[in-house]
Structure 1
């Protein structure tokens, strides 16, 4: 008999499940909190709570970081308009994207592009800003 996670005695996410979530987020494939919650047979509220409890960081923040890293890669490696990159990253308004990008990378998307950040620099930034090593136990 198949039981949903919500009916099980253990309300915690196992580390292996958290690692699977991290892999899914970092895969570069579009994902949402609701979609991830469905994959783990949880409500999105429960997934957010359990992930934060287990990992000490918000799943929403991780998704935002990943989207911004993908946007940074597009800025560095393509001539796609910033408005289109913002939309691809899940932002309806370019101004919201620019604010989030500046918080993450300490510069505007335009300046990031003008400075011609290489993939190596992007990888270093990703490691610095992602805090991924904090999650590996």
Structure 2
């Protein structure tokens, strides 16, 4: 017997302008930073060299901006919002690195719906979010405006 599993994600119609979502949390580790340097090939000393960083503005290596962005994507997935209903990432605008993320920082993603637009295809719609990476102390580390294409309810 085959059982069809329904998506647990949100459809276009489920989003309301002004609605906010807070993701689960995740702690960034030195292993994350080193693994991202290996994956990306970005071995800039600000990310990989403790001695170099001791006298720098952050005192220790910091996470790559794109690493934090990638973790934010994972946190959004972990929230279940996109599970089975997201079609595509369409656009990021105004991506800003506001504060460093270091080893031991625990981050969450806060998303606020800014806009919804129907498309010419009746089975999908565009939702625009303000997405913020929030550190354990409440400080915003990154922010951006992002547009996603979501399924509409069948």
Q: Shorter-chain-normalised TM-score: which range?
A: under 0.3
In the superposition, the TM-score normalised over structure 1's length comes to 0.27
Larger Rg over CA atoms? 2
Question: Which is richer in helix?
Answer: 1
Higher relative contact order (CA 8 A, sep 6+): 2
TM-score by length of 2: 0.25
